[in-house]
Structure 1
Amino acid sequence: MQVTNHDNQVCWYADQLIGDPHPHLFDSQWWQAQKAVVGSSQGRGVTWFVKLDGRHLVLRHYYRGGMVGKVVRDRFWFEGVESSRAMAEFALLDTLCAKGLPVPRPYAARMSKRGPFYRADILIERIRGSKDLVGLLKTGSLDATVWQRIGQTLRQFHDAGVYHADLNSHNILLDRDGKVWVIDFDKGAIREPGSWQQTNLERLLRSFNKEALLHTSFYWVPGDWQALMAGYEGRI
């Protein structure tokens, strides 16, 4: 990993993935000037889809959620470089990739400090040709074998001690080959086995039920969860 530190900016760059490490990689306007923006999505802020040396990447700025986020949109209290949001997620993704788990590869992370606060950005691999479960379920149902495969994948993460802070139906993807991916590991961690694993699953179930209420067409039934759990528990 290459590390740079200047102008109160600490940047990490993955070895052999970034040919020209520079803070402009975290600037959406720079990408636009290079005509390298290939798309975007809107959440708390804009997430940019960009292309670098033939690789498709995601540039994401970190924003606060909840009531605090309405007042302090993107500033976080500084408690050390490695514990900053971008660097912590970069390090976790790097560890999970090394374990062979299906997560995006991290390319770069930045922490910009000003006074006692910092802002953060991360650049990660984009899973080409993938769709999240919400997008898929708004157009049609998924076979039981797919739900079982999702359950098996989640069990792999839990067996590896991977805690996902926001496991929901938007953060599970299927690619063109039917491979299951998990994304968005902000505030994630490696933990010892515990009740958090069941809490993770309960959060995911609530997410499916919530989405079913939000959309007039959402092909989700209780039997889908039973198939997922059969895969998770190895009952197939």
Structure 2
Amino acid sequence: MADSPGDKTFERYCTFQRGNERGFATRAQHATVMRALLDRWRCEPMKAMGRGGLYTFPVLLRKGILREYRRGGIVGRHFREGTLTNRPLHEWDILNRLFNADFPVPDPLGVVWKRRSLLYTGAIATQYIDARNLAEYLANQDESSAKLLETVGALIRRMHDLCVYHADLHVGNILVARDASGGPSIYFVDFDNARVTAVSQLDRARNMLRLRRSFLKRGLRVTDFEHILRGYGPLDVPAWLETAYEIKGALSDALNRRAGAHVT
């Protein structure tokens, strides 16, 4: 990906640069977001989850959340800083694509990146969503959540129709917040490894199988997942792919138990 997004982005964002650090920040709170991205100004650390450090910071009458990008996996244990691709800009660009299409993602407030030799480092700032993930929400619901889950399914289809493939679609990356009237409001997060593409039937099936697997791993009802499928609509899942995901899941479970890894 090039180091600058489309022209429409400049209507909503200001650019900034300090040395070899470059970025974008929302015009509405340009100085606040820029200083948070560059200097962690007024940032409060959160409990780290995943690969990057997390911070909250005040912006207007709400909070922002800032996430640093770091390597994960085996390589990340030895080389935490720097990636070969501009991951901050990549995710921020996809969030803008979805946000501008009125798809429920956190408002992308800004991004910063720095290139040193062949490696990129950086951070992204988005709206802070006070929410529970879908697994936590369902675990605390006494009444039927069929309508909400069908909405989740319909939104996943819309995301695919907007040509966005979420590479890690699981219950932890679907958030349920409360809207102004007290009803549930859905958000999708973690588009770090997502890609913009015409989403094939095979990739659609992969996304839904990944999501179903997360239901099973969290001990959630399969009938709840069926509501998501109903909301998604017609979907052809090849038998060989379903079998492959079952085998992959069994192997992953065995490795995670051995390593004591977190379940998603």
TM-aligned CA deviation for residue 96 of structure 1: 0.9
Match for residue 31 of structure 1 among 27, 42, 48: 42
Partner Cα distance (1:46, 1:20) in 2: 19
Q: Is the 8 A contact 1:47 1:59 kept in 2?
A: yes
Partner Cα distance (1:157, 1:120) in 2: 26
Partner Cα distance (2:38, 2:140) in 1: 34
Q: Is the 8 A contact 2:36 2:57 kept in 1?
A: no
Partner residue, 2:46: 40
Partner Cα distance (1:225, 1:26) in 2: 41
Q: SS of 1:67's equivalent?
A: helix
Higher relative contact order (CA 8 A, sep 6+): 1
Contiguous gaps of at least 5 residues in structure 1: 213-219
Any idea what the Cα deviations from partners look like across 1:125-168, whole Å, max 9, x if unmatched?
A: 1123x211122234345522221111111111112121111111
Written as runs of structure 1 = structure 2, the 5 A alignment for 1:1-236 is 1-20=13-32, 22-28=34-40, 30-32=41-43, 37=44, 40-44=46-50, 45-77=52-84, 84-128=86-130, 130-140=131-141, 143-176=145-178, 177-194=183-200, 195-212=202-219, 220-233=220-233
Opposite residue 127 of structure 1, the aligned amino acid is: I
Q: SS of 2:109's equivalent?
A: strand
Root mean square deviation, CA, Å: 2.0
Partner Cα distance (1:18, 1:31) in 2: 14
Q: Is the 8 A contact 1:11 1:23 kept in 2?
A: no
Partner Cα distance (1:117, 1:206) in 2: 34
Stretch of structure 1 that moved more, 12-21 or 94-103: 12-21
Opposite residue 75 of structure 2, the aligned amino acid is: V
Work out the percentage of aligned pairs sharing the same amino acid: 27
> Structure 1 length as normaliser, TM-score?
0.83
Aligned positions, number:
215
Contiguous gaps of at least 5 residues in structure 2: 1-12, 235-264
Opposite residue 25 of structure 1, the aligned amino acid is: L
Partner residue, 1:216: none
Change (3 A) 1:14 1:232: same
TM-aligned CA deviation for residue 20 of structure 1: 4.8
Q: SS of 2:124's equivalent?
A: strand
Any idea what the Cα deviations from partners look like across 1:2-38, whole Å, max 9, x if unmatched?
A: 222332111111233424563443444x325xxxx3x
